[in-house]
Protein backbone atom coordinates (compact mmCIF):
# COMPACT_ATOMS: atom_id res chain seq x y z
CA UNK A 1 0.00 0.00 0.00
CA UNK A 2 1.54 3.26 -1.12
CA UNK A 3 0.84 5.71 1.67
CA UNK A 4 1.05 9.48 1.35
CA UNK A 5 1.28 11.30 4.62
CA UNK A 6 2.05 14.80 5.83
CA UNK A 7 4.82 15.23 8.35
CA UNK A 8 7.34 17.61 9.88
CA UNK A 9 11.02 16.69 9.68
CA UNK A 10 12.58 16.78 13.16
CA UNK A 11 15.98 15.40 12.31
CA UNK A 12 18.18 14.20 9.48
CA UNK A 13 21.07 11.79 9.93
CA UNK A 14 23.54 10.48 7.40
CA UNK A 15 23.25 6.80 6.72
CA UNK A 16 25.26 4.39 4.62
CA UNK A 17 25.72 4.78 0.85
CA UNK A 18 24.41 8.30 0.33
CA UNK A 19 21.27 7.55 2.27
CA UNK A 20 19.80 9.60 5.10
CA UNK A 21 17.47 8.68 7.91
CA UNK A 22 14.77 11.22 8.52
CA UNK A 23 12.92 11.44 11.81
CA UNK A 24 9.49 12.65 10.80
CA UNK A 25 6.58 13.63 12.99
CA UNK A 26 3.43 12.66 11.12
CA UNK A 27 0.03 14.11 11.68
CA UNK A 28 -1.45 10.67 11.20
CA UNK A 29 1.14 8.17 12.48
CA UNK A 30 3.19 10.00 15.08
CA UNK A 31 6.97 9.75 14.93
CA UNK A 32 8.51 7.45 12.32
CA UNK A 33 11.92 7.00 10.70
CA UNK A 34 12.19 7.13 6.93
CA UNK A 35 15.23 5.91 5.09
CA UNK A 36 15.79 8.03 2.00
CA UNK A 37 18.07 5.99 -0.26
CA UNK A 38 20.52 7.93 -2.36
CA UNK A 39 19.17 11.20 -1.03
CA UNK A 40 22.64 12.74 -0.78
CA UNK A 41 23.40 12.16 -4.46
CA UNK A 42 23.29 15.25 -6.61
CA UNK A 43 20.95 13.48 -9.00
CA UNK A 44 18.37 12.59 -6.33
CA UNK A 45 15.04 14.21 -6.95
CA UNK A 46 14.26 13.96 -3.24
CA UNK A 47 17.38 15.84 -2.23
CA UNK A 48 15.80 19.29 -2.00
CA UNK A 49 12.70 18.00 -0.25
CA UNK A 50 14.13 16.54 2.93
CA UNK A 51 15.39 19.59 4.79
CA UNK A 52 14.94 19.43 8.58
CA UNK A 53 12.25 21.73 10.02
CA UNK A 54 10.12 21.68 6.90
CA UNK A 55 6.67 20.19 6.33
CA UNK A 56 6.31 17.73 3.54
CA UNK A 57 4.28 14.97 1.98
CA UNK A 58 6.03 11.62 2.02
CA UNK A 59 5.20 8.36 0.34
CA UNK A 60 6.16 5.00 1.78
CA UNK A 61 4.61 1.59 2.49
CA UNK A 62 3.08 2.00 5.92
CA UNK A 63 2.64 -1.11 8.03
CA UNK A 64 1.31 -1.08 11.53
CA UNK A 65 3.80 -2.01 14.21
CA UNK A 66 6.79 -0.91 12.19
CA UNK A 67 8.56 2.37 12.87
CA UNK A 68 11.14 2.47 10.10
CA UNK A 69 10.24 2.67 6.44
CA UNK A 70 11.83 3.15 3.11
CA UNK A 71 10.84 6.53 1.74
CA UNK A 72 9.77 6.62 -1.88
CA UNK A 73 9.10 10.27 -2.53
CA UNK A 74 9.14 13.54 -0.62
CA UNK A 75 7.54 16.78 -1.58
CA UNK A 76 7.99 19.92 0.50
CA UNK A 77 4.70 21.60 1.38
CA UNK A 78 6.04 24.30 3.68
CA UNK A 79 9.65 25.40 3.56
CA UNK A 80 9.47 28.00 6.37
CA UNK A 81 11.95 30.05 4.40
CA UNK A 82 12.53 32.85 6.91
CA UNK A 83 13.01 30.34 9.73
CA UNK A 84 15.88 28.79 7.77
CA UNK A 85 17.42 32.09 6.73
CA UNK A 86 17.37 33.57 10.22
CA UNK A 87 20.11 32.31 12.54
CA UNK A 88 18.19 32.94 15.77
CA UNK A 89 15.05 31.23 14.52
CA UNK A 90 16.89 28.18 13.18
CA UNK A 91 18.89 27.79 16.41
CA UNK A 92 15.73 28.02 18.48
CA UNK A 93 13.90 25.60 16.22
CA UNK A 94 16.72 23.06 16.62
CA UNK A 95 16.24 23.18 20.40
CA UNK A 96 12.51 22.56 20.20
CA UNK A 97 13.03 19.75 17.66
CA UNK A 98 15.57 18.08 19.96
CA UNK A 99 13.26 18.31 22.96
CA UNK A 100 10.21 16.99 21.09
CA UNK A 101 12.28 14.22 19.53
CA UNK A 102 13.56 13.18 22.96
CA UNK A 103 10.18 13.13 24.70
CA UNK A 104 8.09 11.71 21.88
CA UNK A 105 8.66 7.98 21.46
CA UNK A 106 7.81 6.06 18.33
CA UNK A 107 4.44 4.48 19.00
CA UNK A 108 3.48 7.13 21.56
CA UNK A 109 -0.16 7.87 22.40
CA UNK A 110 -1.79 9.50 19.34
CA UNK A 111 -3.05 12.37 21.48
CA UNK A 112 0.51 13.19 22.57
CA UNK A 113 2.03 12.96 19.10
CA UNK A 114 -0.84 15.03 17.78
CA UNK A 115 -0.14 17.65 20.43
CA UNK A 116 3.55 17.69 19.50
CA UNK A 117 2.74 17.98 15.78
CA UNK A 118 0.50 20.99 16.36
CA UNK A 119 2.98 22.65 18.72
CA UNK A 120 5.93 22.20 16.36
CA UNK A 121 3.94 23.40 13.37
CA UNK A 122 2.66 26.42 15.26
CA UNK A 123 6.13 27.30 16.53
CA UNK A 124 7.68 26.96 13.05
CA UNK A 125 4.97 29.22 11.68
CA UNK A 126 5.64 31.77 14.43
CA UNK A 127 9.39 31.76 13.73
CA UNK A 128 8.73 31.98 10.03
CA UNK A 129 6.52 35.03 10.52
CA UNK A 130 9.36 36.78 12.38
CA UNK A 131 8.17 36.53 15.96
CA UNK A 132 11.13 36.81 18.37
CA UNK A 133 12.95 33.47 18.35
CA UNK A 134 13.63 33.39 22.09
CA UNK A 135 10.06 34.20 23.14
CA UNK A 136 8.62 31.54 20.81
CA UNK A 137 11.14 29.03 22.15
CA UNK A 138 10.40 29.81 25.80
CA UNK A 139 6.64 29.43 25.38
CA UNK A 140 7.08 26.22 23.38
CA UNK A 141 9.43 24.68 25.93
CA UNK A 142 6.93 25.39 28.72
CA UNK A 143 4.28 23.62 26.65
CA UNK A 144 6.44 20.50 26.31
CA UNK A 145 7.41 20.57 30.00
CA UNK A 146 3.72 20.64 30.92
CA UNK A 147 3.06 17.50 28.88
CA UNK A 148 5.80 15.78 30.92
CA UNK A 149 4.51 17.06 34.25
CA UNK A 150 7.78 18.87 34.95
CA UNK A 151 6.79 22.46 34.24
CA UNK A 152 7.92 25.01 36.83
CA UNK A 153 5.45 25.83 39.60
CA UNK A 154 5.02 29.58 39.34
CA UNK A 155 1.94 30.06 41.51
CA UNK A 156 3.46 29.81 44.97
CA UNK A 157 6.49 28.68 46.91
CA UNK A 158 6.94 25.04 45.87
CA UNK A 159 8.08 24.11 49.38
CA UNK A 160 5.61 25.84 51.71
CA UNK A 161 2.86 27.25 49.49
CA UNK A 162 3.45 30.88 50.44
CA UNK A 163 2.21 33.07 47.59
CA UNK A 164 4.76 35.80 48.25
CA UNK A 165 7.77 34.62 46.26
CA UNK A 166 11.38 35.82 46.00
CA UNK A 167 13.41 33.28 44.07
CA UNK A 168 13.40 30.65 41.33
CA UNK A 169 14.88 27.27 42.15
CA UNK A 170 15.43 24.84 39.29
CA UNK A 171 16.24 22.02 41.68
CA UNK A 172 13.08 22.52 43.73
CA UNK A 173 10.92 22.94 40.61
CA UNK A 174 9.73 26.54 40.74
CA UNK A 175 9.27 29.61 42.91
CA UNK A 176 10.45 29.86 46.50
CA UNK A 177 9.40 32.31 49.21
CA UNK A 178 12.09 34.39 50.94
CA UNK A 179 12.47 32.13 53.94
CA UNK A 180 12.58 28.88 51.94
CA UNK A 181 15.06 30.49 49.53
CA UNK A 182 17.34 31.39 52.44
CA UNK A 183 17.07 27.90 53.91
CA UNK A 184 17.87 26.35 50.54
CA UNK A 185 20.63 28.85 49.84
CA UNK A 186 19.00 30.03 46.58
CA UNK A 187 19.65 33.64 45.71
CA UNK A 188 16.76 36.04 45.27
CA UNK A 189 15.60 37.12 41.83
CA UNK A 190 14.52 40.61 40.95
CA UNK A 191 10.73 41.06 40.91
CA UNK A 192 10.81 41.79 37.16
CA UNK A 193 12.53 38.44 36.53
CA UNK A 194 9.94 36.61 38.65
CA UNK A 195 7.15 38.35 36.77
CA UNK A 196 8.68 37.57 33.38
CA UNK A 197 9.18 33.91 34.28
CA UNK A 198 5.61 33.62 35.53
CA UNK A 199 4.30 35.28 32.37
CA UNK A 200 6.20 32.88 30.08
CA UNK A 201 4.97 29.91 32.07
CA UNK A 202 1.33 31.00 31.79
CA UNK A 203 1.40 31.93 28.11
CA UNK A 204 0.59 30.07 24.92
CA UNK A 205 1.78 30.79 21.39
CA UNK A 206 -1.46 32.60 20.64
CA UNK A 207 -0.41 35.20 23.24
CA UNK A 208 2.79 36.16 21.41
CA UNK A 209 1.78 39.75 20.62
CA UNK A 210 1.04 40.39 24.31
CA UNK A 211 4.31 38.82 25.41
CA UNK A 212 6.28 40.82 22.88
CA UNK A 213 4.77 44.00 24.33
CA UNK A 214 5.52 42.93 27.87
CA UNK A 215 9.07 41.68 27.44
CA UNK A 216 11.84 42.58 25.02
CA UNK A 217 13.65 39.30 25.40
CA UNK A 218 13.07 35.89 26.93
CA UNK A 219 16.69 34.72 26.89
CA UNK A 220 16.98 34.45 30.67
CA UNK A 221 13.70 32.54 30.77
CA UNK A 222 15.00 30.20 28.03
CA UNK A 223 18.15 29.59 30.11
CA UNK A 224 16.03 28.66 33.12
CA UNK A 225 13.75 26.36 31.12
CA UNK A 226 16.74 24.63 29.57
CA UNK A 227 18.04 24.05 33.10
CA UNK A 228 14.65 22.61 34.08
CA UNK A 229 14.85 20.19 31.18
CA UNK A 230 18.44 19.18 31.94
CA UNK A 231 17.74 18.75 35.64
CA UNK A 232 14.34 17.08 35.59
CA UNK A 233 14.43 15.14 32.32
CA UNK A 234 18.16 14.47 32.12
CA UNK A 235 18.50 15.62 28.53
CA UNK A 236 21.93 16.99 27.60
CA UNK A 237 20.31 19.54 25.27
CA UNK A 238 23.35 20.11 23.06
CA UNK A 239 21.34 22.25 20.69
CA UNK A 240 20.76 24.66 23.56
CA UNK A 241 24.48 25.10 24.14
CA UNK A 242 24.76 26.19 20.52
CA UNK A 243 21.71 28.44 20.85
CA UNK A 244 23.28 30.18 23.85
CA UNK A 245 26.58 30.66 22.11
CA UNK A 246 25.30 31.87 18.75
CA UNK A 247 22.08 33.73 19.55
CA UNK A 248 22.30 37.37 18.53
CA UNK A 249 20.32 39.72 20.68
CA UNK A 250 18.23 42.00 18.57
CA UNK A 251 15.54 42.92 21.07
CA UNK A 252 14.34 46.52 21.14
CA UNK A 253 15.35 47.15 24.75
CA UNK A 254 18.88 46.30 25.70
CA UNK A 255 19.89 48.61 28.53
CA UNK A 256 23.69 48.56 28.65
CA UNK A 257 23.82 48.81 32.43
CA UNK A 258 20.51 47.58 33.76
CA UNK A 259 22.20 46.03 36.77
CA UNK A 260 20.58 42.69 35.97
CA UNK A 261 23.15 40.01 36.49
CA UNK A 262 23.57 37.41 33.79
CA UNK A 263 22.74 33.77 34.27
CA UNK A 264 19.85 33.89 36.73
ZN1 LIG B 1 8.36 28.75 51.19
CA of 142 to the centre of ligand 1 (A): 23
CA of 138 to the centre of ligand 1 (A): 25
DSSP H helices in the chain = 81-85, 87-103, 110-128, 133-147, 178-183, 191-202, 208-214, 219-233, 238-246
Domain boundaries, the chain: 3-79, 85-246
CA of 178 to the centre of ligand 1 (A): 7
CA of 129 to the centre of ligand 1 (A): 41
- pTM reported for the whole predicted model: 0.92
CA of 232 to the centre of ligand 1 (A): 20
Decide if 3-79 and 85-246 have a common fold: no
Q: What is the mean pLDDT of residues 29-36?
A: 95
Quick: pLDDT tens for 114-150.
999 999 999 999 999 999 999 999 999 999 999 999 9
Could you tell me the fold of the domain covering 85-246?
Answer: de novo design (two linked rop proteins) (1.20.1440)
pLDDT band at 249 (very low <50, low <70, confident <90, very high): confident
pLDDT band at 40 (very low <50, low <70, confident <90, very high): confident
CA of 180 to the centre of ligand 1 (A): 4
Angle at 197 between CA 91 and CA 136, to 5 degrees: 30
Question: What distance in Å separates the CA atoms of residue 191 and residue 239, rounded to the nearest whole number?
Answer: 30
pLDDT for the residue 64 = 87
CA of 170 to the centre of ligand 1 (A): 14
CA of 189 to the centre of ligand 1 (A): 14
Quick: pLDDT tens for 58-101.
999 999 889 899 999 999 999 999 999 999 999 999 999 999 99
Residues in contact with 236: Cβ distance below 8 Å, sequence separation at least 6, in sequence order: 230
CA atoms within 13 A on the CB side of 204: 5
Q: In percent, how much of the chain has pLDDT > 90?
A: 83
Q: Could you say which architecture CATH assigns to the domain 3-79? A: Beta Barrel (2.40)
Amino acid sequence: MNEKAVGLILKEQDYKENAVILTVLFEEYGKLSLVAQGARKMSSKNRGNILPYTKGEFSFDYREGKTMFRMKTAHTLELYRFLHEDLNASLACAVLAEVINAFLMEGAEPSFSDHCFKLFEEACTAWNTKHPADIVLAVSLVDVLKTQGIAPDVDECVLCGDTSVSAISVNDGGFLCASCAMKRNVRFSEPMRLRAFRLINKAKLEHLPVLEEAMGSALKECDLLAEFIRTHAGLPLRSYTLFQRMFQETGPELPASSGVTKGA
